[in-house]
Homo-oligomer: A and B are copies of this chain.
C-alpha cells in the first residue's frame, strides 16, 4: 500500500508516537528529533491517513454544507459562490466539505443527509432558507451550526449576513451626493430580513441628510423582488404622478425591470433619472446603461462562515451572534448628477 507512519518512524529512527506527536504539534519534541522526522516525511512524501486519524481521534474533519435545492440551482449563482468561498477556506484548515441539498419542502420523514445519519461531520453550515425540521434535527445531534443569509425563527444561532442596511445607506448616500432629493424606494417581499435591512438603510441615509421620508415615493407592496415586480412597481409608482429624480431599487432584478419601464416611457437613464440597485449580479454590466449597484462579496460570506465554524470547533468559543460581511458601492453609468443641481 502507500507509505504509513511506520515507514516514517523507521526512516527517522524513532517510534510511532514520536512521529504522531510531530505531526500534531503536541507536547515538546527535541528540535533535532522533529527535524529528522520532518525530513523523513518530506523524503517519503508521506500524508497521514485521514481515515485512520478520524478513527483514532473521534473527530471527522468533515463539515456538512446544506442548501435547499431551489436555492442552489438558481440562475443567479449566489449560493454557488458562497459555497466556493467556504470550500476554498476549508482547504486551509484541512476540512472536507460535504455538500448536499434538501428539498425545499423537507419535513420529518424526508431523506436525511447521509453524513448526518452516519454522524460523519463535526458541524454544519446551512445557507439560505432551510426547513425548520432539518434545523431541529441537526440541533438534536448537538452539532454546531452556522447559518448564512438566514436565521431560523426560534433559537439563538450564529448567522452570517451581508451588510444590507449599510449597503442601502451607501447607495442612497451616493444619490444624495449627486444632488438628488426626491429619491424613490422600490422594494418587495417585506418579510425578508434583507429587504427590511435595505429599507432601513434607505431611511437612515435620508435622515442623516435631513431629507424627509416621503411615503408616496416608497413602493414595496409586491410580495416578490423579481424583474417583473420591478416593472410593475415602477408602473404603480409613476401612475401616482410623482417625479423622483432617482430610484433606489432593493435589488438588481427589480432595478432591471424598473429600467425597462422607464425606457418604455421615454425617461432617459441617467439624464432624466438615476437608478441604483443592490447585489451586483453579472448581467448588470450588460444593461444599457450598466447599472450602479452594491456589490456583495458572496465568496467572503462563505469564507467567514467557515472560519467561524472552525473557531467554534477548535476554540470551543461558542460566541453566538450575527456577523456582517461588508458590501461595496460600484458606480457605473446608471447614476448621474441630478438635473438642475449645481452644487
Contact = CB atoms under 8 A, between A and B. Distances in A.
| Interface residues of A, dominant DSSP | mixed
Interface string A1-34: 1100000000000000000000000000000000
A99 interface: yes
A87 B75 contact: no
Interface in A62-101: 69, 72-77, 80-81, 84, 87-88, 91, 94, 96-101
Contacts of A55: 49, 51-52, 55
Nearest to A88: B101
Contacts of A115: 96
A48 B281 CA distance: 44
Given A51-B54, A77-B73, A87 B60 contact: no
A111 B84 contact: no
A319 interface: no
25 contacts: A1-B58, A47-B118, A47-B119, A50-B120, A51-B60, A52-B55, A69-B84, A72-B80, A73-B80, A73-B81, A73-B84, A75-B283, A77-B77, A77-B80, A87-B99, A87-B100, A87-B101, A88-B101, A94-B114, A96-B98, A96-B115, A96-B120, A97-B98, A97-B99, A227-B286
A80 B251 CA distance: 23
A69 B69 CA distance: 20
A108 to B, nearest CB: 15
A117 interface: yes
A76 B281 CA distance: 12
A257 to B, nearest CB: 11
A264 interface: no
Interface in A255-271: none
A286 B75 CA distance: 13
Interface in A273-316: 281-283, 286
The oligomer's copy count stands at 2
A103 to B, nearest CB: 11
Size range of the chain A interface in the assembly: 35 or more
A117 B47 contact: yes
Given A49-B55, A80-B80, A227-B286, 9 more contacts: A47-B119, A51-B51, A55-B55, A73-B84, A75-B283, A87-B100, A91-B111, A96-B98, A96-B114
Contacts of A87: 99-101
A91 B75 CA distance: 25
Nearest to A100: B87
A7 to B, nearest CB: 15
A99 B118 CA distance: 19
Contacts of A54: 51
A80 B52 CA distance: 32
Given A2-B119, A118-B47, A118-B50, A84 B72 contact: yes
Contacts of A50: 118, 120
